[in-house]
Amino acid sequence: MRQLIRAALFDLDGVVVFTDKYHYLGWKRLADEQGWAFDEQVNHLCRGIPRLASLQVILDHNRITLPAAEKDRLANVKNEYYKELLATITIADVCPGVLGFLDALARRDVPLGLCSSSKNAGAVLDALRLTKYFRTVVTGHDIQRAKPHPEIFLKGAAGLAVAPFFCVVFEDAESGVAAALCAGMHCVGVGTPALLPNAPATITDFSTIDLACLLASARPG
């Protein structure tokens, strides 16, 4: 069977590892200190977007306007809370089936890239000893335009020297799905169709993927 997929690109949060709870707790702590309303529904709107954009979602929800310098300060406060929480991360936070899937791709010599808007992505990979899987890592430090702009995935593909059409992206946020499709790549959503209505296909557990089918057609099964 002819191989269509020649490289795989992964978002980090909610795809390779569950850091969502740490982001939630970091934002919740900040929101409680500031007296802002913040819950799981608002937190969902913050998925897949950079820190300042997430803060803006929370401010808009609370109908609050702040100067840019204050927004920068508060975003940095949240990031310090998040980094404190990351000190407790363990292999138990890795998403279901992902380690076996990464190993299977490695055995097929499929190059992998990590593409996360998080500026803490490298630290998370190192803490969980996952860096070895990825030939290229693109983080928030490396891009000018956040998802849904395709820049991060195009840089990932370039780092692997693979044309976008031959890449499959694994994403858990609508902004990431949009970025992957805009880049001209195939995409598998990590989540349910209800949460990712624009993803061409979805999974909730990497162990359910038929690797031969994925590589031949960009469909997980």
13 catalytically annotated: yes
Axis-axis angle for helices 68-86, 20-34 (nearest 10): 130
Structure tokens at 154: 């195009």
Provide the b/e sequence for 35-49 (b: ≥16 CB within 10 Å). ebebeeebbeebbbb
Residue where the block lists tokens 């996360």:
116
Catalytic pick among 11, 20, 39, 60: 11
Taking Cα atoms as reference points, which of 111, 136, 16, 180 lies closest to residue 188? 180
Q: Which residues are catalytic?
A: 11, 13
